[in-house]
Structure 1
Amino acid sequence: MKYSALLLLFFLSIGVCGQAIKLEGQVLTAQGQKALPYVNIGIRGKNVGTTTNAQGRFILVVPPENALDTLSFSAIGYQAHHMAIKQISPAKPMQVKLQEKAVSLKEVLVRSHKLKRKKLGVTGRLPLVWGSPENIENRDIYEFANLIRVKAKPSELVSAHFYLASTKLDSALFRINLYRVSDGLPGERLVEKSIVDRLSAKAGWVSIDLQPYALMLDEDFFLGIEYLPAEGADRLAVSLGAKLGGKAYSRKSSLGTWDTFNGASLSGYVEVWQ
């Protein structure tokens, strides 16, 4: 009888471990407890993730094979927060509070010579578009990035430009990210400023004014465009323009791994003063 009970308990534990874990909750600021929208939530490097909505709320279904992993919360301007999934109770909504990050500004030397306005990146487009990568989580992001070479020249960022196309949406929400180059891939964020804008998705070039953010860089960086899909939206509703040649960088989930593709590059560039 004793062994039968132990055997039953063993099989029950296997059944529990084999179930997906549904987590939901809200992300708030630690100071003031205000809702934090568009926070990236995920298991780093595992392509399991989502984002908070405009009210800071989220739902994430964690596959059973990731039950022993760590869940990370990442928001621009805030310290990253990490939680062991096995210590989270799915029975009640989570409330995650993020601490503001102390940001030290890097000094960039501005030379006295007359500055020139330049376009850096991929300014052309061929009849080639990319749809979003396939993903199991409807609320999750997808993101593409271009390597921008400034060649150690102090550069004041004026604007960012991308080619978007959609037959279903008039507009969509995007976030512009600037990443440090790390082993040839996008690494940590270079700028702790939230650049979120609703852009027209009717086929054509779109522009994001970067001057209000006073961005000065003197190192090569990755320019990323991150699609923040609305709840219930078709994630294949928006495509981005591309050009043959070069290398493409993309990821299909929050805090997920970056993939590379040789032979095409994102139609995206920045205008700078150098």
Structure 2
Amino acid sequence: MKTLKLIFFLITVNFCNSQSINGIVKDALSGEVIAYANIVLKNGKGTYSDEFGNFKLTVRNVETDTLKVSTIGYESQYIPVNLFKDNLIYNVLLAPKTEGLDEVLISSKKLKYGKKEILGEQREGNQSVTSLIGYETAVLIENPKNKTGKVNGVYINLKKRNDAEYIATFNVKFYQFDSIANAPGKLMYNENIYVQPKNKKYRLWVNVEGFGILFPKNGICVGIEMVNTHGKVKKYAYFGPMYRYTFTEEKTLQTWSNYHNSGWRDGSIEYKNPKRTKVGVLNPMIGVEVEYILE
């Protein structure tokens, strides 16, 4: 009987310590709402603000959890959850970043470029892998010439998800490669690049030629985030399309995963082809079109 009372007490305490937090994400200077900002708790649960900047999230560890609100081009906000109260809507103000433009290619003279080249994973096998809403998948595109260039476009090889209930929106991002941390580093373009894919098997090209994105000598990391722009959907709703992955025996980490901007983790998938003796990893078939500066 004492055991039952203890269990009931623990459940009651846990229930009482949970609450819903409501907010609107806004630009701290202009007051304009910020759509599709990443909202994530320290314990790992996350969501997006909707097209009007609104968000709602249920929190269990009210006294100990912290909310992180972030999006490209703004300083992240970290807010103790116990500052929120039930049934009240709070304005979460994000300050625009004031970084310099060293992330993009700027020159006072007209640069000359060589022929266009396509870089990325070479196809060997064709596996389809489903990514979840809120996750960003990033790959390292190596620079075989060790020369500076510019990025003209990004391709993503996709495959139809037959049971998809919604179509995700892609947010394309570019990062420097941090060779010390062996992970994506500083953002190279400080704006969101939203793309509407189709739920079918094809190669999606994203034109970024006019964005002035540098292709560094040590390569570039390209991230694709799957964003929900449909508002409130049921838990574990199926989103399409799927990424197409290719097999490689090279086990050096080249793929990372990031949930609602909470931090990079190993995103590669170990794989053994049952028809072969080869063992390796699967990486998404994402690549870039580049032009190198003529010296």
TM-score, normalised via structure 2 length: 0.76
Give the structure 1 partner of residue 289 of structure 2. Answer: 271
Give the structure 2 partner of residue 96 of structure 1. Answer: 92
| 1:1-274 equivalent positions in 2, closer than 5 A | 15=13, 19-43=17-41, 46-64=43-61, 67-106=63-102, 108=105, 114-124=113-123, 126-133=125-132, 140-150=133-143, 152-166=146-160, 167=162, 168=164, 171-182=167-178, 183-218=181-216, 219-229=218-228, 230-231=230-231, 232=233, 234-245=237-248, 246=250, 247-261=254-268, 262=270, 263-274=281-292
Q: Determine the C-alpha separation between the residues in 1 that align with 2:68 and 2:177.
A: 22
Give the structure 1 partner of residue 274 of structure 2. Answer: none
Q: Percent of aligned positions with the same letter in both sequences? A: 20
SS at match of 1:116: strand
Q: 1:126 to 1:79 in 2, by over 3 A?
A: same
When structure 1 is superposed on structure 2, of 202-211 and 149-158 the one drifting more is 149-158
Q: How far did residue 42 of structure 1 move?
A: 1.4
Q: How far did residue 217 of structure 1 move?
A: 3.4
SS at match of 1:86: helix
Q: 1:125 to 1:27 in 2, by over 3 A?
A: farther
Q: Is the 8 A contact 2:247 2:282 kept in 1?
A: yes
Q: Determine the C-alpha separation between the residues in 2 that align with 1:235 and 1:252.
A: 17
Q: Determine the C-alpha separation between the residues in 2 that align with 1:223 and 1:169.
A: 27
Residues 125-162 of structure 1: per-residue CA shift (max 9 Å, x gap): 633011124xxxxxx51221111123652221101110
SS at match of 1:200: coil
Q: Determine the C-alpha separation between the residues in 2 that align with 1:257 and 1:22.
A: 27
Q: Determine the C-alpha separation between the residues in 2 that align with 1:268 and 1:99.
A: 32
- What is the aligned length? 256
SS at match of 2:117: strand
Q: 1:31 to 1:253 in 2, by over 3 A?
A: closer
TM-score, normalised via structure 1 length: 0.81
Q: 1:102 to 1:19 in 2, by over 3 A?
A: same
Unaligned runs of 5+ in 1: 1-10, 134-139
Unaligned runs of 5+ in 2: 1-8, 271-280
Q: Is the 8 A contact 2:158 2:200 kept in 1?
A: yes
Q: Is the 8 A contact 2:105 2:150 kept in 1?
A: no
Residues 243-265 of structure 1: per-residue CA shift (max 9 Å, x gap): 01144322344425423324110
Give the structure 2 partner of residue 6 of structure 1. Answer: none
Q: 1:203 to 1:67 in 2, by over 3 A?
A: farther
Q: How far did residue 16 of structure 1 move?
A: 5.7
